Amino acid sequence: MSADPVALTRTLVQCPSVTPTEGGALAALEAVLRPAGFDVARVTFSEPGTPDVENLYARIGSGAPFLLFAGHTDVVPPGDAAQWRHRPFAGEIADGQLYGRGTVDMKGGIACFLAAALDHLAANGGRPKGSIGLLITGDEEGPSVNGTVKLLDWAHARGERFDHCIVGEPSNPQALGDMIKIGRRGSLSAVVTVEGRQGHVAYPDRAANPIPVLLAILSRLTAQPLDAGNAHFQPSNLEITSIDVGNGATNVIPQKAVARFNIRFNDEHSLDGLKAWIEGIVAAAARPGIVPAVTYARGNSQSFITRPGPFVALVADTIAEVTGRRPELSTSGGTSDARFIKDYCPVIEFGLVGQTMHAVDERVPVADLVALTAIYRRIIDRYFGA
């Protein structure tokens, strides 16, 4: 059995799977995977305060090595559909481009890997010399609570053990073959709250202004660069994202001042180390009648890297052969579900070109879908020695 990556991408795009809605996308994958011999499980996870999310896990083969592909079928909202040249969930092709929400991020990547896997199986007796798996979530664009992180735990509890993983996120900045993500910086989001005492500005002795204390904290946090970066990571950076006092009056000292910031950090830091540094600065800023405190957002993540070795070389060499470009090994960009997968096996990210992801008229060249399928097919063949 084989599959056309362009047709499969169109089918997935035509499923309006705006996070956290399944929209028929997982059902469309299951309809292809089961006839090809994959064992398929559809698993829904729940947690109070978050939407229920349906996920899919599929595997064919029973031995090692085990190559896993990970991705997501949920997409961001299309916005005003009238602004699109082609309807966002129509999957229309025009001038060699396939249009639609999710074509790049990342239904096209899923379709290409599935088509490549099916072609490999068809050429090798219907079974791999090891195992091939797909771990597909519907919660990557959402809070990422009931998706990959829980699906990995679920699979591990069932005895699933992966050797390597490819995440099909759009990793290329300009052209197919530009870049492999071999890691990501960590992310730490924090909220500093300084409680003072409200009062009239003409009688400051009767009040305790929280704003100077908050400014002193932020000044110390940003006084020096966190580091200079290293061979695999760009420098860490701390960005203040908001400062709020909720005070519309010019003659009132406010009761409270709040600041939010995010740190994107490389492997010269850890979450625990950064938290200790922040908490030391916050505690040292306390004044009589003024109490500062810090809290952290849910979902903060450590940095990670899959260091160059045989697996990374296999992927890079294959990309270079198909595209003529030697990919940069990068850890740039934001976070992805690879941050969860790295706890289970070495993971890299390689997919389509990301220039139109999350944008009006998101689209992918049909030629790139064909080329990415060829890359994935050669990777699978070489991984299993076919």
DSSP state letter for 106: I
Identify the H or E element spanning 296: strand 291-296
- Give how far the C-alpha of residue 368 lies from the chain's centroid of Cα atoms, to the nearest Å: 21
Structure confidence by residue, pLDDT tens digits, 197-228:
999 999 999 999 999 999 999 999 999 999 99
Nearest-angstrom CA–CA distance, 188 and 146 = 20
Give residue 386's pLDDT: 73
- Residue 252's SS3 state is strand
DSSP string, 20-87: T--TTHHHHHHHHHGGGT-EEEEEEEEETTEEEEEEEEEEE-SSS-EEEEEEE--B-----GGGSSS-
Strand order, beta sheet including 363-365: 93-94, 97-99, 363-365
CB 380 within 8 A of CB 67: yes
The yes-or-no answer on residue 227 being catalytic is no
The Cα–Cα gap between 323 and 379 comes to 13
pLDDT tens digits, 23-37: 999 999 999 999 999
Phi-psi region at 28: left, alpha or beta (left = phi > 0; alpha = psi -120 to 50): alpha
Mean pLDDT over all residues of the chain? 97
Residue 334 has pLDDT above 90, yes or no: no
State the Cα–Cα distance between residues 134 and 114, nearest whole angstrom. 8
- Whole-number Å distance between alpha carbons of 128 and 84: 42
Q: How far apart are the first and last CA of the chain?
A: 17
- Coil, strand or helix at 140: coil
pLDDT at res. 1: 54
Instruction: State the catalytic residue, choosing from 74, 119, 337, 349.
Output: 74
230 and 266 in contact (C-beta within 8 Å)? yes
Predicted confidence at residue 2, as pLDDT, reads: 61
Determine which one of 22, 92, 105, 140 is catalytic: 140
The token pair at 324 is: 């003529």
What per-residue confidence (pLDDT) applies to 140? Answer: 95
Instruction: Give the 3-state secondary structure percentages of the chain, helix then strand then coil, rounded to 5.
Output: 30, 25, 40
Mean pLDDT on 298-318: 95
> What does the pLDDT look like over 282-295, one tens digit per residue?
999 999 999 999 99
105-125 pLDDT per residue, tens: 999 999 999 999 999 999 999
Reply yes or no on whether 239 is catalytic: no
Contact 192, 215 (CB under 8 A): no
Rounded Cα distance between 278 and 266, Å, is 17
> What pTM does this model have?
0.92
3-state secondary structure of 282: helix
CB under 8 Å to 341, separation ≥6 — which residues?
68, 70, 135, 148, 152, 165, 167, 347
